[in-house]
Amino acid sequence: MPGRKREYDEDDVRVRPGRSSRPRTRTRPKHDDAIDALVITVDRGRYGCVREDDPDVEVITAMRARELGRKSVVVGDRVALVGDVSGDAGSLARIVRIGERTSVLRRTADDDDTTPEGRLERVVVANADQLVIVSALSDPPPRTGFIDRCLVAAYDAGIEPLLCLTKADLAGPEQVLDYYAELDLPHVLIRPGSDLADLRERLAGRISVLVGHSGVGKSTLVNRLVPDALRAVGAVSAVGKGRHTSTSAVALRLPLVGKARKDPGWIIDTPGIRSFGLAHVSAESLLHGFPDLVEGTLEDQPNCGHTAADAGCTLDAWVAEGKADRRRLESYRRLLSSRAGEPDARDQQADSGPSA
Does residue 161 have a cis bond before it (omega within 30 degrees)? no
Residues 6+ apart with CB under 8 A from 313: 300, 304, 306, 307
Residue 71, annotated ligand binder?
Answer: no
216 marked among binding-site residues = yes
Residue 169 assigned to a binding site: yes
Q: Is 212 annotated as a binding residue?
A: yes
Residue 52, beta-bridge partner list: none
Q: Please tell me the distance from the alpha carbon of residue 79 to that of residue 38, in angstroms, as a whole number.
A: 6
Distance CA 291, CA 13 (A): 79
b/e per residue 87-109 (b: at least 16 CB within 10 A):
beeeeebbbbbbeeeebbbbbbb
25 marked among binding-site residues: no
168 is in an annotated binding site: yes
d(CA 29, CA 258): 45
Please indicate if the annotation marks 118 as binding a ligand. Answer: no
Residue 54 · residue 36 · CB < 8 Å: no
Quick one: which of 274, 286, 288 has its CA closest to 338?
286
Calpha distance 202→164 (Å, rounded): 11
Q: Is 218 annotated as a binding residue?
A: yes
The annotation status of 296 as a binding-site residue, yes or no, is: no
* 216 Cβ neighbours under 8 A, 6+ residues apart: 134, 135, 136, 140, 166, 167, 272
Alpha-carbon distance values, 331 to 38, 55, 142 (Å): 37, 42, 14
Tell me: is residue 234 an annotated ligand-binding position.
Answer: no
323 labeled binding residue: no
Binding positions: 166-169, 212-220
Binding positions for GTP: 166-169, 212-220
